[in-house]
Amino acid sequence: MAIPHARSGQVIDVRPHGATFTDERSVALFKTEDLEVIRLVLPAGRALPPHAVAGEITIQCIEGRIDVTIGGESNHLAAGQLIYLARDVLHGVAALEDASVLVTIALRR
């Protein structure tokens, strides 16, 4: 998937998809020198297997509910909650309900 470069001052919609949820898919919103922002769309039951990111991240639940597992420990996030993860932390993400998720990555330079 090609990742667009953000124009500074660009307004980006991250409202809940709501009724259109099933038609939506994950998108890389933008990637710049220092930041990458991705919106994940995870139907209920969908999971990303444990993985690590070479940068500090926040994972923000935009709609639905997700479980972020870290070292076998569950962290449930509802819409409007976010979690911070240090660089290289192994984590999994599972949708407890249809969920969309904003992931912000501080890119390692």
Per CB under 8 A, residues contacting its own copies are 6-16, 30, 32-35, 37, 55-56, 58, 60, 62, 68, 70, 73, 75, 77-87, 89, 104, 106-109
Q: Which two tokens stand for residue 89?
A: 């932390």
Nearest to 43 by CA among 27, 28, 59, 63: 63
Q: Between 42 and 68, whose beta carbon lies closer to its own copies?
A: 68
Q: How far is the CB of 64 from its own copies (least distance, A)?
A: 14
Enumerate residues 6+ apart whose C-beta is below 8 A from 4: 28, 29, 30, 31
State in angstroms the smallest separation of the CB of 7 from its own copies.
Answer: 8
- How far apart CA 28 and CA 39 sit, in angstroms, is 6
* Residue whose CB is less far from its own copies, 42 or 59: 59
The smaller minimum CB distance to its own copies, of residues 36 and 42, is found at: 36
Nearer to its own copies, 26 or 81 (CB): 81
Q: Which residues contact 42 (CB under 8 A, 6 or more apart)?
A: 26, 48, 64, 66, 93, 94, 95, 98, 99, 100, 101
Taking the complex as a whole, how short is the minimal distance between the CB of residue 12 and its own copies, in angstroms?
A: 5
